[in-house]
Amino acid sequence: MAKKKVVENGSLNVLMPKLMKIKDEDLLVEKKRKKWGWIAGISIIIGFLGFLAATVPGIPLLFIIPGIAVPCFVVALIIYILLVRRDLDNRKLDTALKFVEMMGQDVPDNANMAIFVDFGDYQSAGKLLSKEGGMMSVKEMSYEHPWFKCTGALYDGNRFEMEVVQCIKRKEKRKRKYTKVKEKIVEKATLSLKLNPRIYPSPETVAQQVTTGQLPQGFIVNRSLGRNRVLKIAAATPPAVIVNGRYGVSGDYDNLFDGDKLLGLVIDAYSGLQKARPEEGAAPA
């Protein structure tokens, strides 16, 4: 996957075209990667069949076929690898698109949002927290990778900051002919709201009204704290377990955050805000 980082600042009308352009470029890269993957695969098959046919007595000219097919395979493979390195993580990109698009509806036209997305994988872009084991034993490593952050001001005077951090436990076990890799991935999201004191004078009261525990979207709200005008809500996903073994990769990333789940965390926060909002005409404490 690509190591690209996106850092942008602007209104919804500025950010969305930029993100959509990145999406279009990524779709083109994926299309090209698929094409060159097919070319590489077909070239090696033709080369192999041509080599077998050329061993038949009396048809020496068939050696030309593998002579052409093998260089084609090498070129196609190199291009394919280069395209793989440019390919972005679709989940991360779609998460950013959905979140910015929906949150931007509640951001004034003259106000800006800031967004950060790190498309790098956790081994190259994240931080290694611990490592145990060695060459002849099971290796266990833990990583932390903050990959998403978005901030902005809303119509109601609140300021929001959403941040997502990926936490990974990786286990590598050497087998006779391969290395088995098991990844246990949990993502943690933190939503911070700097509250408009004229509307929400007591963040402590708001925090008590926020729903914690398992939410319908599939993640868990661990805690809700209110202090010094700030409401902070922490949530985490169930683990996504990915195993890369002898016969390929099993598991998926469905448990991790996407745009809908992050918006679900915002909805949970505003449900608590609505319950704690002073009645019309009531004087702020």
> Measured between alpha carbons, how far is 72 from 246 in angstroms, rounded to an integer?
29
> In sequence order, what are the beta bridge partners of 160?
152, 193
Q: Is the pLDDT of residue 129 over 70?
A: yes
> Measured between alpha carbons, how far is 270 from 252 in angstroms, rounded to an integer?
31
Q: Is the pLDDT of residue 283 over 50?
A: no
How confident is the model over 6-18, as pLDDT tens digits?
Answer: 999 999 999 999 9
Greater pLDDT, 116 or 228: 116
Greater pLDDT, 2 or 284: 2
- Across the chain, mean pLDDT equals 89
How confident is the model over 38-97, as pLDDT tens digits?
Answer: 999 998 888 777 777 666 665 555 667 777 888 888 999 999 999 998 999 999 999 999
201 is written with which tokens?
């004078």
Q: Is the pTM of this model over 0.95?
A: no
Confidence band (pLDDT; 50, 70, 90) for 285? Answer: very low
How far the first Cα of the chain sits from its last, in Å, is: 52
How confident is the model over 212-249, as pLDDT tens digits?
Answer: 999 989 999 999 999 989 999 999 999 999 999 888 88
Predicted local confidence at residue 177, as pLDDT = 83
Instruction: Tell me the three-class secondary structure of 232-261, residue by residue.
Output: EEEEECCCEEEEEECCEEECCCCCCCCHHH
**Maximum distance among all Cα pairs of the chain, rounded to whole angstroms:** 101
